[in-house]
Amino acid sequence: MRIIQGSVNSPLGFMASGVACGQKKNGDLDLAMVASDRPATAAGVFTQNVIKGHGLQLTRQYIRGKLARAVVINSGNANACIGEDGMKDAIEMAAAAAARIDCPAEQIMIGSTGVIGQRLNMPAIKRGIDLAFAALDETATGAENAERAILTTDLVSKACAVEIDLDGCRVTVGGMAKGSGMIHPNMATMIGVITTDCAIDQPLLDQILRQAVNKTFNRVSVDGDTSVCDMVIAMANGAAGNTSIEEGSTQAAILLEAFETVSTELARMIARDGEGATKLIEVVATGAKSSEDAYKIVLAVAKSPLVKTAIFGEDANWGRILTAAGYSGADFDPEDIDIYLGDLMVCAKGCALDFDEALAKKILQEQDIVIRIVLNEGNASDRIWTCDFSYDYVKINGSYRS
C-alpha cells in the first residue's frame, strides 16, 4: 500500500468539482459534486441522532438501491428541521443532479451541512448543480474545489488517497471529509466521501466501510456534540478492472486496510482542525478488563473540558485525566492505573509521581499529544482522537449563525 497525493477523483472513472452558489454568506465555494462515469456500488453510514436532516433522510432511502452515480453536498445550510418543504427541496436537489448526469434520481446521494432551520435557496442550489456538473474533472483542482466546498467552520481541506495492488491491478482508494465542531463518535461525526475503482459487491463494501468507520471516524470527538446531517458515503465503480473481491479473501483484507488508512488520516485531520484547536490529542487506554471499559475511559477523557483546557494551557494536570477515567463508568481499580503524557509517566498506581515538570511542559508544547492510560488489569485497549479546547472554540461557536 502506498499513500499518494490524491483525493476522491484519484480512482479511475471519478470526477469532482466545487462551486459557489450563494449558500455561504462570504461567497466561498459551497456546493461539491463527486461523480462516477458509471454506476458505482454504494454504501453509507449515517448519524445516530434522532433528528435527521432532510437530505440525509433522502439519501438513506436512495442508498437502498445500492448504486450511485454521484454525491452532491452543499455547505452553509443543513436543510434540517424544515418539515415537508425540507424533504421536497432534498428531492428536488437530487432530481436536478440526476437530470444533468442522466441517471435515476435514486443514484444521487445528497448531503447538506450548515445552519439548521433555514430553507435552502433552491434556485441557487440548482444553479450550483449546473455549474458543478459543468466543472467536473479528474484534476487536482476539481478535487480541491470539492474539498473546499463541503467545509463549514473547518480551516483546512481534508483529503487522502492510497494505492494498492489486487491481483496485478492497481486499485486506488480516495477520500475527502469535513468536520470541525459537533464532532463525536457514533457517526454523525462529519461528512465524508470515499471513492474507489475497486470491483466489489455491495454487502462487502458495506461491511468494509462500517469496519473502517468504527475504528476511525467513530473515534474522533471534538466537543461531544453530534450533528443531524452527517454521514460517510462510499462508492466503488470497478473501473480498476480487478476481479470482484470476495468476503474473507486476502484482497478484502488489503482493501479494508486501504479504507482504514484513508479514514484514519481524515479522522486525524478532523481532530487536528477541531474548532479552535491548537493541538491534536490522542487518548489511548490499554490493559483494560474489556473493550467497553477501554472505550468508556478514552471517551470520558477526550470529552472532558477540564482535560482539554489543561492541554490548551500546557498544564500537566494529570489529576483531571484520572478524574475523568473515574467518572467514565468503566470498571477499574484506581490503585492499578498508570498515566503517561507522551513517554513521561506522571501517575503510577493511581498516585502522584514526582515527575520532571519541565519535561512535561516540553511534551505539552508539542502539537501532537499522546495521553496514555494503562489499567494493568487486562488486555483490552482503545484509542480516540480529540483536540484541545481554546478561546477560539468559544469565539467560533458564540457567533456561528450571525
In the region spanning residues 332 to 361, those forming contacts with a second copy, defined by CB under 8 A, are 332, 334, 347, 349-352
The residues, ordered by sequence, that sit 6+ positions from 249 with a Cβ below 8 Å of its Cβ are none
Asked if 189 is an active-site residue, the reply is: yes
As given in the structure block, the three cell numbers for residue 147 are 474539498
Catalytic residue among 41, 153, 189, 261: 189
The residues, ordered by sequence, that sit 6+ positions from 395 with a Cβ below 8 Å of its Cβ are 276
162 binds a second copy, rule: CB under 8 A = no
Helices (H), 196-286: 202-215, 250-272
390 binds a second copy, rule: CB under 8 A = yes
Shortest Cβ distance from residue 84 to a second copy (Å)?
9
Neighbouring C-alpha atoms within 13 Å toward the C-beta of 369: 31
Continuous segment of H or E residues that includes residue 302? helix 291-303
In the region spanning residues 51 to 110, those forming contacts with a second copy, defined by CB under 8 A, are 51-52, 78, 80-83
44 binds a second copy, rule: CB under 8 A = no
Q: Which stretch binds a second copy (CB under 8 A): 31-39, 101-109, 225-233, 237-245?
A: 225-233
48 binds a second copy, rule: CB under 8 A = yes
Burial class (CB in 10 A: 0-12, 13-18, 19+), 293: buried
278 binds a second copy, rule: CB under 8 A = no
Q: Among residues 197 and 230, whose Cβ is nearest to a second copy?
A: 230
Question: How many Å apart are CA 184 and CA 54, to the nearest integer?
Answer: 20
Question: How many Å apart are CA 271 and CA 280, to the nearest integer?
Answer: 6
Q: Among residues 234 and 285, whose Cβ is nearest to a second copy?
A: 285
As given in the structure block, the three cell numbers for residue 285 are 487506554
Number of residues that bind a second copy (CB under 8 A): 66
303 binds a second copy, rule: CB under 8 A = yes
**Under 8 Å between Cβ of 42 and 72:** no
Q: Binding residue for a second copy (CB under 8 A) from 211, 290, 323, 376?
A: 323
Shortest Cβ distance from residue 195 to a second copy (Å)?
29
| CA 141 distance to own-chain centroid | 22
Shortest Cβ distance from residue 397 to a second copy (Å)?
4
241 binds a second copy, rule: CB under 8 A = no
CA distances from 226 to 222, 223, 283 (A): 10, 8, 19
225 binds a second copy, rule: CB under 8 A = yes
Question: Which residues in this chain contact a second copy in the complex, by CB under 8 A?
Answer: 48-52, 78, 80-83, 115-119, 181-182, 184, 188, 223-228, 303-306, 309-310, 312-313, 315-320, 322-327, 330, 332, 334, 347, 349-352, 389-391, 393-402
For the annotated catalytic residues, the residue numbers are 189
